[in-house]
Structure 1
Amino acid sequence: MQAVELRTIGKISRRIVPFLMVCYFVAYLDRVNVGFAALTMNGDLGLSQTAFGFGAGIFFVAYFIFEVPSNLLLEKFGARKWIARIMLSWGILSGAMACIPLIARFTGFGNEHSFYLVRVLLGAAEAGFFPGIIFYLTLWFPAVYRARIVGYFMAAIPLSTVIGAPISGALLYLHGGLGLAGWQWLFVIEAVPAIILAGVVFFYLTDQPSDAAWLTPDERAWLTGRLQIERRHREKVQSFTVAQSLVNPRVIGLSLVYFGAVATNYGLSFFLPQIVKSFGLNIFLTTIVSAAPYVVGVIGMVWWGQRSDRVAERRFHVAFPLFVAAAGIAVSTAFDDPLLKMISLCVAGFGIFACLPVFWTLPTAFLSGAAAAAGIAVINSIGNLAGFAGPFAMGWIKDQTGSYAGGLLLLAGLGILAMGIVLVLGHDHALEHAPAAE
């Protein structure tokens, strides 16, 4: 049995995880490349820091509204069709960011409100992708493997900045072609992979193990049997309907934890290029230096997820990185020296990203089926409201005070609050250790 387990997990890991990493890499790059575009876009469109922060964050309001319905539709229609639909629509709308001046002229909305409009539509288009993938992974990987697998998948977040930052920086220098500014070319070129991948997803993904012709019969039998045993084990403790999962106190508590974690991520990522540019660097060097915390984040995310699976512990492995994230962000405000500030933010980068893959083992330990699809979507949608609140607060505080320090301290406080909630909620490890056979 050990041999078929190792063979099966290895095969599905090689087939599914790298491909989903590429998809999420493109998704995340299209979501946050507005931070790099802002280096020249804000001046061209006449956006204040408050307006930029509001527009960057309003993406998540639409994301919040459509998240749960989208994930329930994915559970109903299957990942292959629904994820392909998501990627096609967000690719088109991400490219439409280049058309903001044109949209402003035709609608009369002006540049600022046209910026808000496209960001709202992009949020609606992308809603359901991330929680859908987290739910999809629960259909393929037993609980004991999930922290490391989610870690590999979510490594696409920091990698999208490590690799995408210099690419975005180089694209900003593409001025004049077809009358487009560099920031417009950035949006157009970085939207193309999402549109292409939509077609690949439709033909490449398999909805569930029982449909996997690329697994041998004994591999399919082992995997479906193991996942069924784990599901029955959870449901013996308590089985949730979709409606119950939406209002479950533990789901709400985890949503608040994720809110704090997301706030530290997006609040920093949308403004980090502008913080680094204030060091006096040119645009390309700004994008290179901005990638440093994300290099640390990639390492932390993969290593910490593996460590959590190895020692079979979750609560500390979520709480400790949240503390590190908060401490690194807070300490960075004490330094004017660029080197010391970036060292502090690199420390924060470890915490920001290391907590994420382990966090997603918490809801999947007690939710299953449609309830898992709904619960994961609720947690992700509420948590991602911080993607609106964090950038908007950062921009408003910067405009009011002339400094990013107040906004960074707010992000650190939210990280500490999330850490406290994790410690209070605890975690039932027994739910992740169903018997291998019945």
Structure 2
Amino acid sequence: MKRYLQFWLILTGTMLLAVAACNLVADPYGLFRLVDEPGFNRIKPSAGAHGTMAKAYQVLRVQPRGLILGNSRAEVGFDPEYEAWPADSRPVFNLALPGTGTETTIRFLQHVLANDNAGSKVVPKVVVWGIDFMDFLIDARTSRRIAVTSKEGNRLLTNLDGSPNPTRALQQARDYLESTLTLGAFIDAIETLGHQGDPYAVDLTPLGFNPMRDYLKITADEGYWAVFRQRDLENVKAYLRRPKDIFDADGHSSPRLDDLRRVLSLCRQHGIALHLIIYPYHSHLMEIIRITGHWPAFEDWKRAITHIVGTEAGRRGEPPVLLWDFSGFDELTTEAVPGKNDRQARMHWYWEAGHFKRELGNLILDRIFTLADAGDQFGTLLRPENVEAQIALLRTQEAEYRKSHPRDVAELESIAEQIKSRQRDLRNH
């Protein structure tokens, strides 16, 4: 009996070691990067689903001099390896996290600033933060802070107040064990090794960028019209659920705007140049903002963040804090969507209305770092003295777009009415 138990103990131990070794070498989530070879394990199909975990550890190893913050728009739009990044800001790490908001941005920025790798503390010189209008919408009557989840926060170096996080070591041990000794990680490791030759495999690069290779196949198989229509439906539903307030009950600020002030303060304290980016929303999304009744809040949001940057950006001699507005109706953001039955045409600037391609992100990086002419009126520095003029210009552009693209606008309005009708029917029953 003892020999039988010894055999099974040895066999079990050997299998666990084999699984751990496979998971460690294949590294399906990009957590360790001990082995990182093209054609072997460089592509990480499972990493995106675990991006919050992987990026929390990988950014500390990279010790970036340039940092990208924001949500999924920034993760897929801003390439950390693009040539426009200043030499003293490299390496750049894309720390943008899909589905997250302003508090997560603060927490992860604090996490990076607290990094002290073997006594060698490297502070970023440049931060590019993509700020999303939707993340700042609140219900003034019930405004409250939306905290990051416990597991997400536990793996960071600091708490929200900046104090050391005592739970990190335990969470790190759990993450490492789950990434090496579990069956799920083993399945993901096998998938990682098997997808290295797949040109359409999902990926998250060592510098945190999502190249959206899977969308090359999706758009080729389904056509851009279908992808845009699906995203338009999702955006209309999302905005119809959202409140229309920017300020809380006192009418002066909100937890989200306070988060913005906090990021400005952190960058000023650490001598970091900050570029705030209002995303280049596709005209479909801009029309959805109007159709769902959020246009007044959109204008108030621009006024509010312009005021904050203008009054709290720091004094002369400190690193700049610049607010760039890439929203509008121009030849880039009004890129035509191919017809319903056209699966051959390819869009150059957008995957769908919610996410722009790296090609457009590259133009933004060119603009903010080299002040290159990226097209007429593409990218405006918002300041208190010009914000009202820019808001007025946007109103004019939107009205002209409605006249020049009546079919697009009518389809979006029809989608909104259908969704509202279904919602009314559900409430009545």
Same fold (TM over 0.5): no
Give 1 or 2: higher strand fraction: 2
Relative contact order (C-alpha < 8 Å, sep 6+): which is higher?
1
Structure with larger Rg? 2
